[in-house]
A and B are shown apart, each in its own frame.
Chain A
Amino acid sequence: MSTEQKELTLNMGPQHPSTHGVLRVIVTLDGERVIKARPVIGYLHTGIEKTMESKLYYKALPCTDRMDYLAPMSNNLGFCLAVEKLMEIEVPEKVKWARVCLAELTRLNSHLVWLGTHALDLGAMSMLLYAFRDRELIIDVYEACGGQRMMTSYIRIGGLSHDLPPDFEKKVRRIIKEIPAKLNDYETLLTNNEIFINRTRDVAVISAEDAINYGLSGPMLRGSGVKHDLRKASPYSGYENFDFEVPVGSKGDAYDRYKLRLEEMRQSLRIIEQALDGMPEGPYRAHVPGVVLPPKEDVLYKMESMIFHFKIITDGFKSPKGAVYQGIESPKGELGFYISSDGSNKPNRVRVRPPSFVNLAALPKLTEGGMFSDVVCAIGSIDIVLGEVDR
């Protein structure tokens, strides 16, 4: 029998269930040890940035939901804030508070799905069902707001598409009341679970210097102990009015990131509660004739509103020449929109700074030298959405 040792190249994905979509990783193995890992992406590339260039600003908005489909409101918010910065639109206070509330609900939604799928990858099957059950409460709020359960497009340029629904507060209060107890339940299932700890402790470690050098953001960066959160560092949409903590990890391993995301969910609930308590009364859309669509009630009864409505829908609005960038803290990390305008009614270029894409680029760094079975854990702890990686 030959005892010759050879490296083994193994293809993982693109339709592997634990790659969260269509990620393909070409792994070179020496026994169980990973020598080289090369992620291959692009299977879901749909040219969203190119599509957005050919649309009026209003019509480009629904493209943003389709990128990170687990965090639609964050994507809407990022794009709207960028366009509002370009057009110098000041939105009413109520809109800011409602947006914060919805963005944090989105964070909860995204983290719950992450928790379920990550635990499923590591063998805890029941977590997926629990997480999806709880997510249903949040999806119900989306449905009440925008009429859609996933691709909401509820946050619009200059405000919201409709006023908040009458039962909004009741629905969200229920989430605030029920979720914390459930998070505690999950912690009893996972946090001190020996199998879970063995699978995640000291796995997929990245140091603070490396995390910065790789441009990581969100929980990936904070897990390594860098206290950087755009909600605190460069507040947008009124985040400076809210009181919340930014949790950080210490080691930068998968377990730290797990603890951190759970803590982030609790902080999100705190922000949601503050947003509900302090939600001011007022219009749900800014009054900027010719740029922001007038409310539908006005369109039916006022002539000027109808004319503006017609003009905006058919011809859009002219934007000043220049380029703006707006970054927000999405559940996955820094989501940025760079809009370059040439003075016409369509953007010259829309660039999305995708947090998942940049975080995924560190996968070789996280996995090389480790065990093959930890690749799955590393992919799960990055928290990628391939719709956003490939765009």
Chain B
Amino acid sequence: MEQVTNIDSKLREFINDQFGDDLLRIEDFRGDISYHIKPAALVEICQALFDDETIDAKYLADITSVDWYGHEDASAGRFEVIYNFYLLLHNYRFFIKVRLEESDPKIASLTPIYATANWLEREVYDLMGIEFEGHPDLTKILTPDDLEGFPLRRDFPLTYEVPHFSFNKDDPPEVIK
């Protein structure tokens, strides 16, 4: 347990000292520590954490995104991109979160540092429509090529699939939209 508190304070110190201007706030909810930072500083911070020998953030577990459409939180930026890091040396997890504006959802790609960012960023691009600049192959990954729109956005409606046949051919059901 002692080790965990050590790395916790060490990480806070590291980010506060070196990137104090880019750090918006630190959030602690149910033991999950999140660093909210400015989007422009993302690559620089990740590279510094990756290179630092004590922190050694070599393992990027996940990249995901949240849409705050129609929510009071959207004033800080509609889209939230979440980077989930796990420190294998310290058995410690933390998150880096950035907010992106609705008008220009773009952020630099982490693929030069983490190979795992390749598919994870493609998924976020496909489902949420956030562009990752500098990604080597930013193409759709899960949805069909002819699907328009980004399914995980809150304003993308949940619809039913149009049935191709009816159980009673004389009385076809009305298509549910």
Task: Pick from B58, B66, B119, B142: contact of A390, CB below 8 A.
Answer: B142
In the complex, chain A residues 348-362 whose Cβ is within 8 Å of any chain B Cβ: 348-349, 351, 353, 357-358, 360-362
**B48 located at the interface, meaning its Cβ lies under 8 Å from any Cβ of chain A in the complex:** no
In the complex, chain B residues 136-176 whose Cβ is within 8 Å of any chain A Cβ: 140-144, 151-152, 156, 158
Flag if B152 contacts A45 (CB, 8 Å). no
Flag if B142 contacts A215 (CB, 8 Å). no
**A65 located at the interface, meaning its Cβ lies under 8 Å from any Cβ of chain B in the complex:** no
**B125 located at the interface, meaning its Cβ lies under 8 Å from any Cβ of chain A in the complex:** no
In the complex, chain A residues 335-391 whose Cβ is within 8 Å of any chain B Cβ: 336, 338, 340, 342, 348-349, 351, 353, 357-358, 360-362, 365, 390-391
A382 CB to nearest chain B CB (Å) = 13
**A210 located at the interface, meaning its Cβ lies under 8 Å from any Cβ of chain B in the complex:** yes
**B61 located at the interface, meaning its Cβ lies under 8 Å from any Cβ of chain A in the complex:** yes
Task: Pick from B30, B143, B156: contact of A86, CB below 8 A.
Answer: B30
Flag if B29 contacts A322 (CB, 8 Å). yes
A366 to B143, CA, bound (A): 25
**B60 located at the interface, meaning its Cβ lies under 8 Å from any Cβ of chain A in the complex:** yes
Most A-side CB within 10 Å, residue of B71, B118, B142, B151: B142
A47 to B119, CA, bound (A): 17
A47 to B151, CA, bound (A): 8
By secondary structure, the A interface counts as mixed
**A140 located at the interface, meaning its Cβ lies under 8 Å from any Cβ of chain B in the complex:** no
List the B side residues contacting A51 at CB < 8 Å: 158
A378 to B58, CA, bound (A): 24
Flag if B158 contacts A338 (CB, 8 Å). no
- Of chain B, the residue at the smallest CB distance from A215 is B116
**B47 located at the interface, meaning its Cβ lies under 8 Å from any Cβ of chain A in the complex:** no
Flag if B116 contacts A342 (CB, 8 Å). no
Task: Pick from A47, A233, A327, A360: contact of B61, CB below 8 A.
Answer: A327
Contact with A along B6-17 (1 / 0, CB 8 A): 000000000000
List the A side residues contacting B151 at CB < 8 Å: 47, 50
**B82 located at the interface, meaning its Cβ lies under 8 Å from any Cβ of chain A in the complex:** yes
Flag if A213 contacts B32 (CB, 8 Å). no
In the complex, chain A residues 298-343 whose Cβ is within 8 Å of any chain B Cβ: 322-325, 327, 334, 336, 338, 340, 342
**B35 located at the interface, meaning its Cβ lies under 8 Å from any Cβ of chain A in the complex:** no
Flag if B64 contacts A338 (CB, 8 Å). yes
B75 CB to nearest chain A CB (Å) = 14
In the complex, chain B residues 78-97 whose Cβ is within 8 Å of any chain A Cβ: 80, 82, 84, 86, 88, 91, 93, 95
**If the complex has contacts A234-B93, A340-B66, are A322 and B82 also in contact, measured as CB distance less than 8 A?**
no
**B120 located at the interface, meaning its Cβ lies under 8 Å from any Cβ of chain A in the complex:** yes
Chain A, interface size category, equals 35 or more
Flag if A85 contacts B152 (CB, 8 Å). no
**A190 located at the interface, meaning its Cβ lies under 8 Å from any Cβ of chain B in the complex:** no
**A8 located at the interface, meaning its Cβ lies under 8 Å from any Cβ of chain B in the complex:** no
Flag if A213 contacts B114 (CB, 8 Å). yes
Task: Pick from B32, B62, B91, B119: contact of A351, CB below 8 A.
Answer: B62
**A289 located at the interface, meaning its Cβ lies under 8 Å from any Cβ of chain B in the complex:** no
- Of chain B, the residue at the smallest CB distance from A54 is B158
Contact with A along B117-131 (1 / 0, CB 8 A): 011100100010000
B81 CB to nearest chain A CB (Å) = 11
Flag if A349 contacts B66 (CB, 8 Å). yes
B59 CB to nearest chain A CB (Å) = 5
Flag if B82 contacts A338 (CB, 8 Å). yes
In the complex, chain A residues 48-105 whose Cβ is within 8 Å of any chain B Cβ: 49-51, 54, 85-86, 88
Flag if A41 contacts B142 (CB, 8 Å). yes
List the B side residues contacting A338 at CB < 8 Å: 62, 64, 82, 84
Flag if A351 contacts B64 (CB, 8 Å). yes
**A36 located at the interface, meaning its Cβ lies under 8 Å from any Cβ of chain B in the complex:** no
List the B side residues contacting A212 at CB < 8 Å: 58-59, 88
- Of chain B, the residue at the smallest CB distance from A40 is B141
A45 to B145, CA, bound (A): 13
Flag if A214 contacts B91 (CB, 8 Å). no
Report 15 cross-chain contacts, Cβ distance below 8 Å, ordered by A residue.
A42-B140, A42-B143, A47-B151, A49-B152, A51-B158, A88-B30, A213-B114, A213-B116, A217-B61, A327-B61, A349-B67, A351-B82, A357-B123, A358-B116, A391-B142
Apart from A348-B71, A358-B62, what 4 extra A-B contacts exist at CB < 8 Å? A86-B30, A340-B66, A357-B119, A361-B115
Chain A residues near B (Cβ < 8 Å)? 41-42, 45, 47, 49-51, 54, 85-86, 88, 210, 212-215, 217, 226, 228, 233-234, 322-325, 327, 334, 336, 338, 340, 342, 348-349, 351, 353, 357-358, 360-362, 365, 390-391
